Amino acid sequence: MVTNALQINRHSEVFSSIKYWIRRLPLLPIILLSPLLVFGIFGPLIYPQDPHIIDLNLALQPPAFMPGGIMAHFLGTDQLGRDLLSRLMEGARSSLLVGIFGVIFSGAIGVLIGLAAGYFGGKTDQVIMRLVDTWMAIPGIFFMLLFVAVMMQSGVQGLTPIIIAISLTMWPMYTRMVRAEVLTVKQRDYVALARVTGCSNSRIMIKHVMPNVMNTVVVMATTGLGGAIGMEAGMSFLGVGVQPPKTAWGLLISESSTYMGSAWWIPTFAGIAITMTILGANLFGDWLRDALDPMTRQSQLSK
Amino acid sequence: MTRYVLNRILLGIITLIGVSIIVFVASRLSGDVARLLAAQNATEAELQIIRARLGLDKPIPVQYLIFIQNSLHGDFGTSISYHQPAMQVVLSRIPATLLLGVTGFVIGNFFGIALGILAAINRSKWVQWGGQTFALLGQAIPGFWTAVMLMLIFAVKLHWFPTSGIGGIQHLILPSIALSWFSVAFVMRITRSSLLDTLNTDYVKLARIKGNPERVVILKHALRNALIPVVMMMGMQLAMLIGGSAFIETVFRWPGVGILMVNSISARDYPLIQAITIVTAAALILIMLLTDILFVYIDPRIKYE
């Protein structure tokens, strides 16, 4: 009887908390990010046309809502008659993959190094911070171009060099932030207590310090997703990112630049796709920061 | 203070050496320039001759020491694609980049601060909404897309401005707007929040009670203090401008350092890559140091040991 009541109680608690979260989910960021997620995940299953089919009879078709446009190519076609909407969807896949893996790798490297710098302090900290400063004294795009060139030379192909280059460029951001947070968390009593009870350094770092900096990391990673996707777009735009015949949003913009006057829709829609994604990630990051912070969460609850 | 500055300069030099090592090794791992220069069917012996001529036949650490020794004498090697001293090639491009960068910086700060003040003092719904949208879009729209769209609308469709190259003021307008787009939003956001904080302080209230007109209160009492965080961020802003110029210069074919940076990497022009990194890194380190020093003068509360 008692257990039953408890279970019911727990059920309703879970249920109400789910309802509570759904009600408070940020609508705008989700709408902005949904094309990226839907097209990125389902990809080829839902392309309206094959993004690689060339049909020169249908070259440079304007979008359907413009005079001369046809419904079959809703957002128009490029100079080879390939369907822009399908190509944008294919681009979403590269962006999503690069964004997610870029964030995971740069976050993992950055967080681990930042934890070590903040926790051990002293010489370790000095050496690491010098490295971070050095890294940040080189313009990011220069670094990425160079790293991609190195990767391609060593025979790495596809999205991997882009992901590695982005990770190697973005990690110092996490390191700085995590280090600063660890410096304050380290002073707390529970860390001292853990040490007294005989925990090893690595155990204290992983079990006691890291959970307390994770909120910041999650927020940074969300915004970092937009950052990584923006970087990928920039690299593809400069011709060192995704390589044809594959396509990416940045590549669509640079490919169309030679006949941009007769196909305004290609750079326009590709750019809108990039902007929507970065904006969505930034807004989602803002929402997450408020949602994870107990202080602002309280004030949101009372709203 | 002197001690602090000397210490910072020393750290800056260490950073610069670190930068040169990373770039030196990475550029040599990025591809064999001999293969790019040689004929398609060159034999290994012919490639060796080219490598020996460029000094690339020695182990990388030895190459690096030679590079350091020469660069201390002001010799950064000869650019492989321009057949001129690498540093000379970079320095010849600096005026163009500086022209674009300074214009972008001025536009960014002028409009950023003006819009920030407007968003802080005008509490009407439309201004607030517009300001917030603008700030969010400024952060989200990539600079190269702004550049492409400005070019498409104002140069290709309307023919108001030339599409590319350097020349009179009409060549400068589109690239500098594209370059400063991010800065405007960034500066606006900082100015707004900082001015809002300042308007709540006691000395601003006192200035109001004394019967000063609102314009004097805001411009003379509040804004001066509110701009401290804006100045603090100027170093970061310049760093972003340097990174952004690579894209803007590429789109508008602006003959500056940014486009040179992109081209030098695709040409595997090692001496040029090194010279560019040394110049940009040194500029960034110097900018950061100068803003930190400037800070002591504009905010007496700050003291460096």
Distance, in Å, from the CA atom of B297 to the CA atom of A297, rounded to the nearest integer, reads 40
State the CB neighbour count (10 A cutoff) for residue A101: 18
User: What residues contact B127, with CB distance under 8 A and at least 6 apart?
Assistant: B118, B119
| Distance (Å) from the alpha carbon of A199 to chain B's nearest alpha carbon | 36
* CA–CA distances in Å: residue A95 to residues A40, A82, A152, A156, B192: 8, 20, 19, 18, 33
Q: Which range has highest mean pLDDT (A252-266, A276-290, B52-66)?
A: A276-290
Distance, in Å, from the CA atom of B300 to the CA atom of A296, rounded to the nearest integer, reads 33
pLDDT band at A272 (very low <50, low <70, confident <90, very high): very high
Any B CB within 8 A of A142 CB: yes
User: What residues contact B176, with CB distance under 8 A and at least 6 apart?
Assistant: B100, B103, B104, B107
Return the pLDDT at A102. 93
Q: Are the Cβ atoms of A139 and B151 closer than 8 angstroms?
A: no
Q: Are the Cβ atoms of A142 and B284 closer than 8 angstroms?
A: no
User: What residues contact B80, with CB distance under 8 A and at least 6 apart?
Assistant: B33, B37, B54, B267, B268, B269, B270, B271, B272
Q: Are the Cβ atoms of A253 and B140 closer than 8 angstroms?
A: no
For chain A positions 151-190, those within 8 Å of chain B (CB to CB) are: 152-154
pLDDT of A1 higher than 50: no
Distance, in Å, from the CA atom of A231 to the CA atom of A139, rounded to the nearest integer, reads 12
ipTM confidence: 0.81
Any B CB within 8 A of A133 CB: yes
Q: What is the mean pLDDT of residues A130-136?
A: 83
pLDDT band at A8 (very low <50, low <70, confident <90, very high): low
Per-residue pLDDT of chain B (305 residues; tens, 9 = 90+): 788 888 888 888 888 888 888 888 888 787 777 777 776 677 777 778 877 777 777 788 888 888 888 888 878 888 888 888 888 899 999 998 989 999 999 999 999 999 998 888 888 888 888 888 888 888 889 889 998 888 888 888 787 877 777 777 778 888 888 898 888 988 998 898 888 888 888 888 888 888 888 888 888 888 888 888 888 788 778 888 888 888 899 888 888 888 898 888 888 888 888 888 888 888 888 888 888 788 777 777 766 65
Q: Are the Cβ atoms of A260 and B151 closer than 8 angstroms?
A: yes
Any B CB within 8 A of A149 CB: yes
On the 0-12 / 13-18 / 19+ scale of CB atoms within 10 A, B297 is exposed
pLDDT band at A301 (very low <50, low <70, confident <90, very high): very low
Which of B23, B146, B148, B237 would you mutate first to test chain A, the one with the most A CBs within 10 A?
Answer: B148
Any B CB within 8 A of A8 CB: no
Q: What is the mean pLDDT of residues A291-296?
A: 70
Any B CB within 8 A of A150 CB: yes
For chain A positions 214-273, those within 8 Å of chain B (CB to CB) are: 226, 230, 233-234, 237-240, 250, 253, 257, 260-261, 264, 267-268, 271
More confident residue, B69 or A15: B69
Return the pLDDT at A302. 43
Backbone angles phi, psi at A77, to 5 degrees: -130, 170
Is B97:B257 a contact under the CB 8 Å cutoff?
yes
Q: What is the mean pLDDT of residues A121-128?
A: 88
| Distance (Å) from the alpha carbon of B80 to chain A's nearest alpha carbon | 17
Cis check: omega of the bond before B85, within 30 degrees of 0: no
Return the pLDDT at B182. 85
Which of A135-149, A286-300, B11-25, B219-233 shows the lowest mean pLDDT across its residues?
Answer: A286-300
Q: Tell me A45's DSSP state.
A: G
Closest partner residue to B18 (CB to CB) among A130, A250, A260 is: A130
pLDDT exceeding 90 applies to what percent of chain A?
A: 14
pLDDT averaged over every residue in chain A: 82
Is B13:B5 a contact under the CB 8 Å cutoff?
no
Which of A129, A142, A257 would you mutate first to test chain B, the one with the most B CBs within 10 A?
Answer: A142
- Apex B26 CA angle, B22 and B32, nearest 5: 150
Backbone angles phi, psi at B83, to 5 degrees: 55, 35
pLDDT band at A13 (very low <50, low <70, confident <90, very high): low
Q: Are the Cβ atoms of B141 and A271 closer than 8 angstroms?
A: yes
CB pairs under 8 A between A and B: 129
Return the pLDDT at B107. 92
